[in-house]
Amino acid sequence: MYPTSCDTFVALPPSTEGQYIVFGKNSDRPCDEVQEVVYFPSKDHANEEKVECTYIEIDQVNHTYAVVLSRPAWLWGAEMGANEHQVCIGNEAVWGKESADGDEALLGMDLVRLGLERADTAEKAVDVITELLDKYGQGGNCMEDECGFTYHNSFLISDRTEAWVLETAGKYWAAERVKDGYRNISNEYSITTKIDKEHPKLKDYAREKKWWDGKAQFNFTKVYSFQNTARIEAAGGRHCEGRKLLEKSNGHITAETMMDILRDKESGINMEGMFMTTGSMVSVVPKDPDLPGVHFFTATPDPDRSVFKPFIFVPDIKQLKDTCSPGFGDEDPVKKKPRFQSKPTRKHPLFLKHEVIAAIIDSTRERGQKIVQKMRDLEKQKLAEIQKYLTVGIEDKTLLVHLFPDTVTEEFNIYSKA
């Protein structure tokens, strides 16, 4: 059975309730993998400085933007995140006719982080990612163990005004602009004939490989993807179910709507089993540039048993210690070649507490329901609190420096009384 993973969503006016863009993603990864939520401030860099990504070292830029990321704790990049300019990015694993086997290069998750650190609009993020793809390529094992799990990547990218879908096959790619309505992606190619940007040799390469005769209308998905495999069918089912859930609330999509979609288990979007939803994100970004975006993260597995906690970019934010996994310095497996066969624990404080509570929820129905209800009450309280920031702005930004960690503390309090 192929691992299947991830669904990413975006809704823009008039699909949303108000002048907001709502972004959401479930990160589906191996069930024993820890996902952390981390913050990195903006930073100026020296000329000719390098940055060490998961597998390779690349050229650094002069300035990187502040980012908040949800990422598997063993790697440099991220499954999803946002930056101080309210750009949000999530990636998906995709497979097609172009082989995903190759040398270690940039992971799709590295490209998510690099896009957020280097782009202040969604379209610029498309340019950043495709330029890096052309210069360094994509490749490398996408799990910490040596199972040879490799894939190409698609990306859903949004900002205050629009969204972009970027789908790749090796160094080749196509991108589609989304100006309104809603869009979702899963583990399959989805761009067809509407292509707003593309690799300059996208069509030439397809002709060379005899995937396209050069006469029929060019359809990226038909030309570059496999047809009728078990992996594609599974992804197609989730993609279709996700679209149905968006359509169900079309015109009234809110942060809470998106959280409900990410919690939906019947559709397969909230995944269980050996591959499961290990982290979730929902962002609400007003079109008004004077209003802040709010980014919610669980930092724990299964959004149905987790709290979406709000984060807002304000000055003087420190590292989010309770959702930051232990570091291992030079002995970290990601820095070692060959890797350690047995990895040290990467469980951050919130993950450790949540692991205990999840077991209680599973084993004691009545007690578990009470815990989940308290978690939902905390989440609704935070949703109500941030609504004023989304409508009238922030008077005193110093009050929000600890918004996310304070919410984690309130979550701890629920667990301690359970």
pLDDT band at 342 (very low <50, low <70, confident <90, very high): very low
Cα end-to-end distance, the chain, whole Å: 38
Q: Which CATH superfamily is 7-416 part of? A: Penicillin V Acylase; Chain A (3.60.60.10)
Is pLDDT above 60 for 313? yes
Decide if 12 contacts 273 (C-beta within 8 A). no
How is the chain split into domains, by residue range? Answer: 7-416
Report d(CA 413, CA 292) in Å as an integer.
Answer: 28
Mean pLDDT over 118-134 rounds to 98
pTM of the model: 0.94
pLDDT in tens, 354-370: 999 999 999 999 999 99
* H helix count then E strand count, the chain: 9, 18
Mean pLDDT over 219-224 rounds to 97
Residue 371 confidence (pLDDT): 97
pLDDT in tens, 289-308: 999 999 999 999 999 999 99
pLDDT in tens, 259-270: 999 999 999 999
* Cα–Cα nearest to 117, from 46, 182, 41, 47: 41
Mean pLDDT taken over the chain: 92
Residue 418 confidence (pLDDT): 87
Active site residues: 6
* Cα–Cα nearest to 120, from 70, 159, 162, 157: 159
Is pLDDT above 80 for 76? yes
Report d(CA 175, CA 192) in Å as an integer.
Answer: 10
